[in-house]
A and B are shown apart, each in its own frame.
Chain A
Amino acid sequence: MENIISVKDVTFFYPGEETATLKNVSLDVYKGEWLSIVGHNGSGKSTLAKLLNGLLLPHEGTVNVSDYVTSREDDIWEIRRQVGMVFQNPDNQFVGTSVKDDIAFGLENFGVPRDEMIKRINESVQRVGMEAFLDQEPHQLSGGQKQRVAIAGILAQKPSVIVLDEATSMLDPIGRIEVMETVRELNQNEGITVISITHDLEEALSADRVVVMKMGEKAAEGVPDAIFQQRDLLKSAGLDLPFSLKLSEALRRQGVELDRGYLTQEELVDALWKLA
C-alpha cells in the first residue's frame, strides 16, 4: 500500500524536560486508511499528532507527508494544507465570527481568490451537513456542530489527511456520533485518510489499524482484532477495554464457553445465542 505519511525514528523533547516525550517512533500511514492512535495521557500521542503537520519538529528523525518533509521550511505550508487537524476544544479553534468566516479562514491564509473561496465554502459546508448554519455565530452552535465546521474548514482546503486530535472527547454522545459519522463518510466515500488520536478504545474499534502508544514509545501496531486480544498490553498502557470485551471476559470467568473475547456488541450477541 502507498504511504501518505511516514514517520522515521522520531525523537522529541519538550524544552526543559529531561525525558523524551517520543522515543524513536516510526510509523507508516497508508493512503485512504483509518488509523487510530491510542494511549493514556502523557503517552505522547498528541505530540505525535502535532509532528504530523509540522506544528512541532522532531529533534531526531524525519516526518514525510507524500513528497514533502516537515523540517523543510518551504514545504510546511503545503503540508498544513494537506494534513488538516481538528483539535479537542471546539471553541478554541473557531477563529471566524460566523460559520462562513471560519471556514474561509484557512482559504484566506492560502491566498485562494474570493470567487473560488465562496464556491468551496458552499461545497464543503454541504459535505458536513451544516449548510443551514452558514451565518450563525459560534456561540449559537453545539460542540458537535462546531467540530463539523472545523472539518468543513479543513475540507475546503482540499486535504488528503484529517487528523482528529481527541476531537470528540469534549462532546456529548450525540455530538460524538455526528462528528464520527461525518468523518466516516469522508473516509469511505472520498478516500480521505483519517488519523484519529484518542484514549477511547471504543472509538478505535472501527479503525482499519490501531497503534498503541505507551510512555513515548510505540507499544503495538496492528488490526483492531489483533490488538484487542493483547489485554495485558492495553492495561499496562493505561487503557480501558471496550465494554463487550470486558463482558466476554467476565462471562468466560463465570464458565460461559466463549472461544475468545468479542470486540463488538453484535459479535458477542451472535456468539451468545449460538451457545448450546
Chain B
Amino acid sequence: MLQNVIIGQYYPASSPLHRMDSRSKLIAAFFYLFIVFLANNWITYGLLIAFTAVTISASKVPVRYLYKGLKPILILVVFTMLLHVFLTKEGDVLYKAGWLEIYEGGVIQGIFIAMRLLLLVLMTSLLTLTTTPIDITDGLEHLLGPLKKWKLPVHEFALMMSISLRFIPTLLQETEKIMKAQMARGADFTSGPIKERAKAFVPLLVPLFISSFKRAEELALAMEARGYRGGEGRTRLRALEWHNRDTFAIVLLILLTLSLFLLRS
C-alpha cells in the first residue's frame, strides 16, 4: 500500500514546460517570487494572472490536479483576505453594522493579497509538478556551484538529496515489512485514540531508525569501494542542456518585469 505514495508531486507529461532545463525553471520560479510583489493595481495583477494562466496551459498539468495541491493553502488565503477586509481602513465605507466597518480599500487590498498568495503558490507548485526531484537537485547543484568557492558543501548537499530520494521507496518497503511484522504480533496502528496510535508507532520507528543507520554505514563503505572521494575531479553522467526555449522563457520573464515596472502605480 505504501508503494503507491507518489514522491514529491511530479506530474509526468511531455509539455514544453516539462522539457525545459531545470536551471531555467528554478531561476524563473525564484525570480517570479520577487516580481509578484511589484504588482499593485488591477492592470499589473491582470498581467501576472495572464502570464500564470499561459504557463499553466503550457505545462499540460490538469487544473483539477493543481487545485488538489492548492487546497491546503486555500484556508490561509481566505483568512488573510478576511483579515485585510476587516482591518484595513481606507477609502469609502461600504458597509457599517455596529462596530463593524468595511472599507473599499480593505476589500481591494484583501483581493490583491489573496491573488498574490495564489499566484505564488501556483507558480512554485508548477515547478515541482513539471520537474522530477532529481532534476531539481541537479539544477540546484549547478546553480549553486559558484558557492563552492566559499567552502559551501554544494556537491555533498546534492548527493545527500539524491541518495535520500533513492532510498525513499526502499525505506517505505521496509516500513511496510516492519509494520506487518508488528501487526502479526498484535500491534494495532489503526484504531484507538490519537495518543495510543502515536505510541504504537514507537516500535515501528525504532527498528526503522536502527536499520537506516546500518544502511548508511554499508552504503558509505560501498561508495568508498567504488572510488568516491568527494566532488573534486568528478565527472557526471546527468547532463543539463540549455535550449532556446529556456532563453525564451527567461526573456519573457524579463519583459514581464519591465511591463510591471511601467504599469504599476
Contact = CB atoms under 8 A, between A and B. Distances in A.
Interface in A67-117: 77, 80-81, 84-85, 87, 89, 91-97, 100-101, 104-114, 117
Interface string B149-174: 00000000000001101100110010
A91 B234 contact: no
A107 B224 CA distance: 13
Given A117-B235, A117-B237, A95 B219 contact: yes
A94 B162 CA distance: 12
Contact of A108 (B219, B225, B237): B237
Nearest 9 A/B pairs, CB to CB: A93-B222, A104-B237, A92-B218, A139-B169, A109-B227, A106-B226, A85-B225, A97-B166, A80-B227
B237 A55 contact: no
B235 A112 contact: yes
A12 B56 CA distance: 63
B115 interface: no
Interface of A: 50, 53, 55, 77, 80-81, 84-85, 87, 89, 91-97, 100-101, 104-114, 117-118, 121, 137-139, 153-154, 157
Contacts of A77: 227, 229
Contacts, number: 92
A97 B226 contact: no
Contacts of A101: 237-238
A166 to B, nearest CB: 12
A121 B236 CA distance: 13
A114 B215 contact: no
Contacts of B234: 108-109, 111
Nearest to B174: A91
B223 interface: yes
Nearest to B227: A109
5 contacts: A80-B225, A106-B226, A114-B235, A114-B236, A114-B239
Nearest to B218: A92
Interface string B193-223: 0000000000000000000001100110111
